[in-house]
Structures are given as C-alpha cells and as structure tokens.
A = this chain, B = another copy of it.
Amino acid sequence: MVDATLIGLISIFTAGLTIAIGSIGPALGEARAAAQALASIAQQPDEANTITRTLFVSLAMIESTAIYCFVVAMILIFANPFWDAAMQAGAAGGG
C-alpha cells in the first residue's frame, strides 16, 4: 500500500497548501475593493446603489479565484482520481 499512501500524503499536503496560499490573494483583493467602495460611498452617498452593485460584481469575480482553489482542494481530498486508481490497484493486487 505504499503507492496509495504516497498519493494520500501529497494530496493532503497539496490540498492544505492550495487553499492556504490561494486565500491570500482574494482576501487582500476583496479588502481593497471593499475599502474603496466604503470610501466612495462616503464621498458620493447618492451613488451608493451603483457603487454597491459594482462592488458585489467585483467581489464575485475575485472570490471566484478563491473558489477555484477550494474546488481543487476538495477534489484532491474527496474525489481524487489518482487515489481512486491506486485504491483499485491495491484492491486488485497489492500495489
């Protein structure tokens, strides 16, 4: 079962690293957009609706990159094709 164990090890490590590194950019990015939106609302209260709408679209775009990372991490943990193949190989012969 050494092969499957190695794939498990690297999947665990990669999943954690992916979401950890992948959360830095979006978190800082959303903060920047939100901070500017707050400043804009304070500067132009009458445009609060347009600003809020544009902010939400932007947050969705930025969040999408975090979602990509989360999806990859989840795939690596719960739907890993390499792990499945190793499991089948282990069930068939011993790996």
| Residue positions of A touching B, CB distance < 8 A | 1-48, 50-52, 54-59, 61-66, 68-70, 72-73, 75-78, 80-83, 85-87, 89, 95
Number of copies of this kind of chain in the complex: 14
- Residue of B14, B23, B40, B58 touching A13 (CB-CB under 8 A): B14
Instruction: Determine if A26 and B63 form an interchain contact, defined as CB atoms under 8 angstroms apart.
Output: no
A40 to B35, CA, bound (A): 9
Instruction: Determine if A82 and B43 form an interchain contact, defined as CB atoms under 8 angstroms apart.
Output: no
Instruction: Determine if B51 and A38 form an interchain contact, defined as CB atoms under 8 angstroms apart.
Output: yes
| Sample of 30 A–B contacts (CB below 8 Å) | A6-B9, A7-B8, A7-B9, A9-B10, A9-B82, A12-B76, A12-B82, A14-B16, A14-B17, A16-B18, A16-B76, A17-B17, A20-B21, A20-B69, A21-B23, A23-B25, A28-B28, A28-B29, A28-B32, A36-B36, A36-B39, A37-B58, A39-B39, A41-B50, A41-B51, A58-B59, A59-B61, A63-B64, A66-B68, A72-B77
